[in-house]
Each structure stands twice: as C-alpha cells, then as structure tokens.
Structure 1
Amino acid sequence: MELYLMSFIGSLIIILLSTTLAGHLTARARIPAVLGQLLIGIIIGPGVLNLIHPTELIDQFAEIGVILLMFMAGIESDMQQLKKYFKPALSVALAGVLFPVITMGLASLLFGYHFQEALFIGVVFSATSVSISVAVLREFKALNRKEGATVLGAAVVDDILGVSLLSLMIAIIGSTGTGDANEFGSSTNILIQLIFQGLFFIGVFLLVRWIAPGIMYLSNKLLIPTGRTISAMIICLSMAYLAEIIGLSGAIGAFFAGIAIGQTPTKKIVDSNIEPISNALFVPVFFVSIGLNVSFNNFFVSLPFIIVMTFFAVVTKWFGGESGAVLAGFDRKSSRVVGTGMIARGEMALITAQIGFKADLLDKNLYVDIIFVIVIATLLAPLLLRWSLKKLNITN
C-alpha cells in the first residue's frame, strides 16, 4: 500500500510539473490553459510517452476535480448579468443548444451510432466554455458591450440547460438499468427514482432561496477564519453526494450548490479560497486524466467522423448563436460576434463527455474521438471570434 501511494505521489509530481510548464507555454501562445493540460495528459500517457497510466487514486483525484470545477462554474455564473440581458441571452442560448443537439445527433446517427449515443453526443456539444471567449472579448475591450454581455448571459443559460439535459439523460439511463447504475438506481423502480430526482430539484430551489443563505449567514459567526469556506464545501460535497445517491452525477449537484453560494454575500471569499487549491491540484489531475485515456490506435479510422463533427461543432454553435442574436434584434455584425463567441467548448464539454464515459453512455473509442473534436473546435473558437470582432471595427 505504501509503495502504491508513493507511486501515486511520483505521478502527481510529474503531472503538476508538466501542467505548470504547459500553462506557461499556452499563456504565451494565447491558447486556453485547459487545452495545455489535456495535451500534457496525452503526451505523458499511454498515447505517446507511456510515463503514467490511469489508476484508482488518479481517478479519485479527478472526480474531486470535476466536483470543484463545476462548483466554481456555478459560483461564477453571473445571475445579475443574466437578468440584465435575459431576452437576448435566452434567445441565443436556446438556439445555441437546439442546433448542436439536433444536427450533431442526426450526424451521429448517420455514422451508425445508436440513438442513445447520438443524443448524448448532441448534449456534449451543446455546452459553451465562456472563459475562452471572455479572454478574447477582454482583449478587444468588448466585454461590457451588448455583444459581450449577451455571450456571458447566454453562457449562464447554456450551462443550466446543458446540466439539465445531462441530468435528464443520466436519470433515464440510471432508471432503465443501463450504464453505471448505482445501488439506489438498481434497487428501486423508475417511478420512485424519478420522484426522488424531482424532490432533489425542489431541494435545489430551497437551497438557493433560503438554505444556503442561512448556512452562510451562520458561518460568519464561527470563530475560525475558514468557517465560510468550510461551510460552502460542506454544501458542495453534500449536494454532490445526494446527486450520486439518486442516480445523477455528483458534478450536477456541485454545479447547483455553486449557484446557491454565488447568490450569497460570501461568494467572493469562497471563490478566492477554493479556486487556488482546485486549480493547483485537483483540476489539473482531472484534465490530465482525460488525456491519459486518449489513444491514437483508431485515429485514422475515425478521421472522417472527427472532421465532420468538428465542422458541425463550429457551425451549429455559430449559426445557432448568430440566429438567436438576430431574433433578439442585433444587426448582422454584432450577431456574428455573439455566434462566434459561443463556439468554444472547453471544460464544460470535457466534463460532460467524461461523465458520459463513466456512465457507459460512450464507449472508449467514441469518447476519444469526441475529445479530439472538442480540442480542435476549441482551438478554432478564439481565431473566429477575433475575426468577427475585427469585422465589428473594434481594435484591441
């Protein structure tokens, strides 16, 4: 056991050293850090250098990374921004979710995948990674313009819709007894499980409205400096645990816990305390663990699928976001900025794909192909957004 632990620590040292170096290089190249961490996982894993292999401890660290990443995503969901630009954001988000789900789902069916797999592929590519777009919008000083504000608001709705679709799919798969069903799902019938999942979302509403504000108010009275952060982590882990028990993903529970904490006055303190340890340890292990599962064995066989799906991944979000902005009254150039601002997938799509892989919604080869598509589409996203911003005559 001690030898196994020391082997894990050795792997952890390699992961942290390599991701730190990758983060520095990607920052210089203006490439999202998440892609650097993912590529490091591919390079040091069985796909290239074969230095590190997936292990139980790495998987457990990665699971914590997913929970913390989704928790922070919930905290950082700007509900005030959403309220201000609700109508255009809702229009953009709905179109930007429907087009990928329908188009990429149908394309997957034409490639011979089952309906369940095709639908889940559509759900994976319904996600948007706003952090990548924010970096470009900030570079062009367009973050506070109507285009930037709409992208931010639409990303909040996008995340909520995406997590809701993911919840629904996991619930259906768990209820029908396929996938990685847990003990609760295997010992209860469909109706009871759906009732418990309905009660869970009622609990989410109560948490956001009353429970989390009450707990965080009491945490201010604790005579320890980390009282508020510990209380927030208890809420996060409790929601993740409850979500797993009723057949959903722990990441989904963590996301809604983050939204609840994000509506309290302790939002900034909790975020500033949790983010450093998450990004310094658990989150890099999560993204590297995805890379460790990537193999090039079937790459050339899968190349037609990867090319076609990358094309649809870019076009569906672009067209969906742009058409939603046009319906909201934006002109063509502004609508194009919004559309290209919604292309990036990044961490949300990677998390969704990983959850599907763990739940046996995707087989290993399909999972790897989807990772390739996410990476390529995310690399193209900032280039297209910069192009559309220049067409808007905004100079950086």
Structure 2
Amino acid sequence: MFSQLTVLVLAGLAGPLLAFTGQGLVPVVIGELAAGVVLGHTGIGAVDPASQPLPAFKAIGFAMLMLTAGTHVDISSPAIRKGFLRGLGALAVVAVTALPAGVLVDRAIGLGHPALLAVLIAGSSAAVAFPIISERGLRGDHVAVLIAWVALADASTVVVMPLTLSASGNVAEALGGDAAIVAAGALVLLLALRTQPTTISHRLRDQSLTKGWAWQLRISLVLLLGLSAMAERTGASTLVAGFLAGMVIVRLHESDRLSMQILGLGNGFFVPLFFVLLGAELDLRALFASPSRIALAFALAAAAVLAHVIAAAVMTRTRRVATGLAASAQLGMPAAAASLGLSTHLLAPADAAALVAAGCLTLIPATAGSLLLARGQ
C-alpha cells in the first residue's frame, strides 16, 4: 500500500511543478491529471485505480475537493451580497442558454445525457475563479457580479449535477437525501453559532492552539465525514455533502490557521490523490479513437464559453467579454461528473475523458479573461 501511495504522491508533485514552470497560467490539477494519465490505463499501467485501498482514498479525496470548493463560497461575504442580484440574473441567462445548447450538443454527438451537458455548460468553478481574482487583485462592480455569479453557479450545479446521473427512479431518493444533508448542515451551523461565544469553546480553542490538538480541524473532519455518511445512506451525493461542509466552515469565520490546516490536508494529500487516480482511470486512447467524443469535448467547452459571454453581455455594464470568459472556468464539476459516471457505469470511458477534456479547455479562455480584467485595472 505504501509503495502505491508513494508513487501517487510523487505523481501529484507534477501539478505544482507544471504550474510553477507555466508562471501560474497552468492550473495545478492539469499536471496531476496528466501524471495520472501516464501512470494509468492510457499510459504505462503502473497504477490500477480499482485496487484496494485506492478507491477509499479517492472517495475521501473527492469529498475533500468539494469541501475546499465550498470554503470559497461565503454567502455572508460583502462581495457576494453586492453583486447578488446581477449574479443571479447572469446565472438565469446562462441556464436559459445552456438548456437548448445541452440538448443540441447531445443530439449532435449522441451522448444520451442532455441534462448533464446543460448543467456542465451552465457551471462555473469558484475553486478556479476565486484564487485568480485574489491573486490578480481584481476589483470593481463587474468583479462583484463575477464573484456572486460564480458562487451561485457553483452551489447550484453541485446539487443538480448528481441528479442528472441518477436513474429516473432514484431522483426522488437523491433529492430527499440532499434535503436531509442541507437540513443537517443548517442544524450544525446553528448549533456552532450558538456555542462559538461560550467560555468552554474559547478555552478549548486556546488550549488546542498552544498544545497542538488541531481541535477545529478534527471537528471539521467530523462534519465532512458525517455529512458524507448521510449521503452514502440516503442515496445522495458526496459532492453535495462536501460542498455544504465547506460552506458551513467558512460561514463560521474560523481562524486562518484552520483554513491552512484544511488546505494542507486536502491540497497536500487527498485532493491531488483524487486527480491522479482520476487521470489513471481515464482512457484517453478511447477518446482519441472516437472523433465524436473529441467533438464533444470541443463543443461542450465552446458552448460553456459562449453561454457565459452572452450572460455577461446581458448582466454586466463593463468588461463584458472578459467577465464572461473568466466565469466560464470549470474543471471540478466535469471531473466530478466523470468520476460519478464511471463509478455508476452511466458513462463510457471515452465519455468521461471527453468531459474532463472539455473542462480543461475552458481554462484557456478563462485565463485569458482574467488577464484582460487585470490589464484594465
């Protein structure tokens, strides 16, 4: 087991190294996926993602990925509140555009999942967009709209996307599970807000800080694993559980120390492991052997970019094209769809590879959009 994990962690280093040599223009996950592709089914076959205990590590990595994505969505943030109405309007325009686009692409390619394609076209990635906004110091009314838009899109697609990969008879069960998870998360948040100011809570935090107990990290992991266990039992998705756990944690406005601990545990081990294993699971040979699936990747990426640019043109007053391009970034959701589709056997290997490829392609115009926004500051 440890030899396998050593290889996978070493492979995960390809992400930061590629991002470093690319001067920040290449997202870390691209290198991690590429390393997995080389080690897995497409490449030399050194890693079998189905061999135990790797599926368990991948499942935890998926939950941690959604947790870190959720921590980027603070619904009480002034930036989100400032651009909420226009961001909501932009999301509505994207949704209206994405529905016919998803149906059109599905009919042209023959995937058989028009609802899934529509959701992916409408999606955005807070985990990709927000760090770019922060690193480049972007500001202005159009950026406030962008932040609210991406946050709302991320939260919405997290709930809807798993339903598109549920059998028709399981949709009601999945919706019930999602409702139970949201109710549990709301209850935890309410209890946490009530106990935060207490003397015992302050003493626990102080002693944890001085004695290295990592108390808040442990509680955060209990929340993540507990909600994920609920998802497992109720037929809901770990995607919703992880994202909601992240939203609860960020809403509590805990210390930067906790954020660094979560990032260290997630981005230092479990999340890279997930992307390397996902890359190992993808079959790019099947993708390259299927012209229709190559066309799917390009059509899906182009539809997503076009839908977001149209929405930005309607709902923003300035920097319309650049804002739309920046909002079109998405990789976590296509990766999640590919992982769910492969695990449930609802997507063929070439289909899953096409979805991930489409997500990677959207990063090119999104990076260009962020550069245009930064240039206009």
With normalisation by structure 1, the TM-score equals: 0.82
Change in 2 beyond 3 A, CA 1:163/1:301: same
The 5 Å alignment of 1:52-67 reads: 52-54=47-49, 55-67=51-63
Match of 2:225 among 233, 237, 246: 237
- Partner SS state of residue 298, structure 1: helix
Query: Aligned partner of 2:141: which letter?
Result: K
Match of 2:149 among 154, 162, 173: 154
**1:83 corresponds to:** 81
Query: Aligned partner of 2:86: which letter?
Result: P
1:60 and 1:11 map into 2 onto residues whose CA distance is 13
- Please state if 1:113 is matched with 2:94: no
- Partner SS state of residue 13, structure 2: helix
- Please state if 1:389 is matched with 2:373: yes
Match of 2:90 among 76, 89, 92: 92
Counting aligned pairs with the same residue, the percent is: 19
**CA offset at residue 383 of structure 1?**
3.1
1:138 and 1:357 map into 2 onto residues whose CA distance is 34
**1:16 corresponds to:** 9
Query: Aligned partner of 1:51: which letter?
Result: A
**2:191 corresponds to:** 211
Match of 2:305 among 314, 318, 339: 318
RMSD of equivalent CA atoms: 2.7
Change in 2 beyond 3 A, CA 1:193/1:293: closer
Change in 2 beyond 3 A, CA 1:38/1:125: farther
**CA offset at residue 380 of structure 1?**
4.3
Change in 2 beyond 3 A, CA 1:21/1:198: closer
**2:102 corresponds to:** 104
- Please state if 1:289 is matched with 2:277: yes
Q: What are the Cα deviations for residues 120-160 of structure 1, in whole angstroms up to 9, with x where unaligned?
A: 2332343322344445545654x222232322221110111
2:195 and 2:120 map into 1 onto residues whose CA distance is 34
Change in 2 beyond 3 A, CA 1:270/1:309: same
- The unaligned stretches of length 5 or more in structure 2 are none
1:296 and 1:317 map into 2 onto residues whose CA distance is 22
**Are the counterparts in 2 of residues 41 and 290 from structure 1 also a CA contact under 8 Å?**
yes
The 5 Å alignment of 1:242-391 reads: 242-266=230-254, 268-314=256-302, 316-331=303-318, 334-386=319-371, 388-389=372-373
Change in 2 beyond 3 A, CA 1:93/1:266: same
**1:3 corresponds to:** none
- Please state if 1:27 is matched with 2:27: no
Q: What are the Cα deviations for residues 183-213 of structure 1, in whole angstroms up to 9, with x where unaligned?
A: xxxxxxx8777555544433343344x1342
Query: Aligned partner of 2:253: which letter?
Result: P
Change in 2 beyond 3 A, CA 1:97/1:350: farther
Change in 2 beyond 3 A, CA 1:89/1:72: same
1:84 and 1:389 map into 2 onto residues whose CA distance is 19
- Partner SS state of residue 56, structure 1: coil
With normalisation by structure 2, the TM-score equals: 0.86
2:121 and 2:176 map into 1 onto residues whose CA distance is 28
Match of 2:31 among 26, 32, 36: 36
- The unaligned stretches of length 5 or more in structure 1 are 1-7, 178-189
1:191 and 1:157 map into 2 onto residues whose CA distance is 23
320-329 or 42-51, larger mean C-alpha shift = 320-329
298-307 or 213-222, larger mean C-alpha shift = 213-222
**Are the counterparts in 2 of residues 306 and 373 from structure 1 also a CA contact under 8 Å?**
no
2:216 and 2:225 map into 1 onto residues whose CA distance is 14
2:174 and 2:40 map into 1 onto residues whose CA distance is 38
